[in-house]
């Protein structure tokens, strides 16, 4: 049930069948010269619609903003702070809990470290605060790290690279505008630098040229399967 499309009566009736809500998180963030700014949001939302065909649960509207650090200066990236993400997520889960939801999956299409840590901090706070709450924080890229390494031809593939481009080719091919050159960030770790564009001008981490719809479809199958497993576990 996509909650923005149901009535309050349908929500109340739905609680008789499920107490599970999945909240997709994304970003408005550059993804090279070939993928849309909403790539993370689109992937999370579209995959969950496929899961919805297999199981009954409440699907929350996508939260389209996230914490972007390495891409903060690139054109089109609109980032929020970790504090804003924490407060927003706390409010959403707390009020959904008041309305009868007890199981939550926070699924992020964005795998940034600070972003994911903010969601995990919220989960730690809520599981102590709300009696009977069950909550999971997941990113498809963390769930399937081993499998994605086997599917991708590109070693160390990541942002706007082979896998993400393949996913968009499978989910929303009309939004893929050609490709971008193979690229990898050259940040001078462990230094934290201000001018990130200097070290990562194209905003691609990997080789989008090796992407294919077939690879994207395989990744989607695996993500849907793994999310379904997590849902069964959290409801069990």
Are 112 and 29 within 8 A, CB to CB? no
* Element holding 166 (H helix, E strand): helix 162-171
Q: For residue range 74-109, list pLDDT tens digits in order.
A: 999 999 999 999 999 999 999 999 999 999 999 999
C-alpha pair distances (Å), 219 with each of 61, 64, 169? 23, 22, 12
Q: Residue 97: which domain range? A: 3-235
Cα–Cα dist 166/213, whole Å = 5
- Are the C-beta atoms of residues 80 and 66 closer than 8 Å to each other? yes
**34, 165 Cβ separation under 8 angstroms:** yes
- From residue 149, alpha-carbon distances to 118, 143, 154 in Å are 26, 12, 8
Task: Find tokens 């070693």 and name the residue.
Answer: 155
Which residue positions in the chain have pLDDT lower than 70?
A: none
- Global pTM reads 0.95
User: Which residue reads 């990236």 in tokens?
Assistant: 77
User: Which CATH number fits the domain that encloses residue 85?
Assistant: 3.40.50.10310
DSSP string, 69-97: STTTTSTT-B---HHHHHHHHHHHHHHHH
Closest CA to 2 of 54, 62, 42, 65: 62
Burial of 226 (0-12, 13-18, 19+ CB in 10 A): middle
CA 127 to chain centre: 21
What's the structural domain count of the chain? 1
What stretches of the chain adopt beta strand conformation (E)? 20-25, 58-59, 103-108, 134-138
Measured CA to CA, the distance from residue 56 to residue 14 in angstroms comes to: 9
Residue 236: its pLDDT value, please?
84
């Amino acid at each position: 049930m996509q909650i923005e499309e149901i009535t309050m009566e349908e929500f109340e009736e739905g609680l008789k069948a499920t107490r599970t809500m999945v909240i997709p998180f994304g970003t408005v963030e550059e993804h090279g010269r070939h993928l849309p700014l909403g790539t993370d949001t689109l992937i999370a939302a579209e995959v969950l619609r496929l899961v919805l065909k297999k199981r009954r649960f409440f699907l929350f509207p996508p939260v389209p903003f996230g914490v972007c650090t390495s891409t903060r200066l690139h054109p089109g990236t609109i980032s929020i702070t970790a504090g804003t993400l924490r407060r927003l997520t706390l409010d959403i889960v707390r009020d959904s809990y008041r309305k009868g939801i007890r199981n939550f999956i926070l699924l992020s299409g964005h795998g940034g470290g600070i972003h994911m840590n903010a969601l995990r901090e919220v989960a730690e706070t809520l599981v102590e605060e709300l009696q009977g709450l069950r909550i999971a924080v997941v990113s498809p890229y963390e769930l399937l790290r081993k499998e994605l390494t086997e599917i991708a031809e590109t070693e160390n593939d990541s942002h706007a690279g082979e896998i993400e481009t393949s996913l968009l080719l499978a989910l929303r091919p009309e939004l893929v505008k050609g490709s971008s050159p193979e690229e990898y960030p050259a940040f001078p770790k462990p230094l934290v630098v201000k001018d990130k564009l200097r070290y990562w001008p194209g905003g691609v981490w990997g080789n989008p040229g090796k992407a294919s719809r077939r690879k994207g479809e395989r990744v989607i199958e695996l993500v849907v399967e793994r999310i379904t497993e997590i849902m069964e576990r959290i409801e069990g």
